[in-house]
């Protein structure tokens, strides 16, 4: 049961979970934010209004990814807890802390305020006519894609550590068999 939960979790942080496909798709992101930048360029939105709309669009994607990973980790954590008789592996603790919001690097990748601050100059350039919407869309999507890859990369690194720690703990639990097959 632990192996399946670990496999499901690994699959998700590798971007292979079906329920994450819509929130990871750059094509869907591009189509969704293009009208925001077009309206900004035409003067129908201010830069701050466009940032708000774009961040409102981004937040559900990020929350979807975090929610799926968190749910899969909760299942894995419970199964590990049962198999390890209440023991905890260091990477298991690190992942628990990450989903509780105690990992600063992870928080940077998921916080829409950081993203808004980084992209504010892009929105201002579109509003002033220096950038055309197509360029801004590419910058926006690249930023979100980089943040998502970083977020999943942080989790993936901890999953790899967890798998290594788990397999090492299983080796120490195995009882050695007699050389001739007699116990």
Instruction: Sketch the domain layout of the chain as residue ranges.
Output: 2-168
Per-residue pLDDT tens digits for 134-182: 999 999 999 999 999 999 999 999 999 999 999 999 888 765 555 555 5
> What is the sign, positive or negative, of the torsion defined by CA atoms of 153, 157, 159, 160?
positive
Say what the pTM is.
0.85
> What is the sign, positive or negative, of the torsion defined by CA atoms of 161, 154, 104, 82?
negative
Q: Which residue has the tokens 């550590």?
A: 161
Per-residue pLDDT tens digits for 13-64: 998 999 998 888 989 999 999 999 999 999 999 999 999 999 999 999 999 9
């Amino acid at each position: 049961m632990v192996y399946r939960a670990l496999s499901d979790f690994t699959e998700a942080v590798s971007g292979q979970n079906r329920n994450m496909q819509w929130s990871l798709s750059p094509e869907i992101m591009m189509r969704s934010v293009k009208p925001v930048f077009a309206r900004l360029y035409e003067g129908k939105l201010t830069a701050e209004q466009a940032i708000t709309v774009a961040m409102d669009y981004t937040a559900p994607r990020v929350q979807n990814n975090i929610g799926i990973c968190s749910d899969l980790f909760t299942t894995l954590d419970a199964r590990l807890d049962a198999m390890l008789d209440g023991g905890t592996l260091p990477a298991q603790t690190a992942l628990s802390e990450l989903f509780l919001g105690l990992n600063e690097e992870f928080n940077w990748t998921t916080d829409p305020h950081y993203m808004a601050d980084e992209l504010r100059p892009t929105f201002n350039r579109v509003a002033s006519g220096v950038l055309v919407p197509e360029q801004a869309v590419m910058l926006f999507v690249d930023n979100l894609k980089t943040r998502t890859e970083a977020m999943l990369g942080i989790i993936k690194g901890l999953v790899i550590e967890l798998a290594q720690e788990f397999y090492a703990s299983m080796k120490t639990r195995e009882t050695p068999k007699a050389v001739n097959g007699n116990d």
